[in-house]
Structure 1
């Protein structure tokens, strides 16, 4: 086996913009759980961290939350 000469680790999307894929994965996960949440509502929350309130029908004062259709 050839040893690795280097590793590229792209944690913040500098090399590959994976935010749309991440949002699509959340849309599908919500759908699998019985919630219909549009991509356009999920996408702006990607990268906002846990404080974005990514729970359908959740509500936290002053925090953007998703609303299930």
Structure 2
């Protein structure tokens, strides 16, 4: 489930959905499906676009270890 967090420190840069999908090796539509299901990494809405903090992506990915 995606959790909301308050930004205490602004990230240097945010990744687009395309860059995030490429990093994770998934389709952009998969990111949007995860968001719809309240799964996947946290995202920020910037205007009409989703943006991802690379630190959040790495932290989320670290928690996805297969059993």
- TM class, shorter-length: under 0.3
The structure that has the greater radius of gyration is 1
Q: Which has the higher helix share?
A: 2
Q: Normalization by structure 1: what TM-score?
A: 0.23
Q: Normalization by structure 2: what TM-score?
A: 0.24
- Say which structure, 1 or 2, has more relative contact order (CA 8 Å, 6+ apart): 2
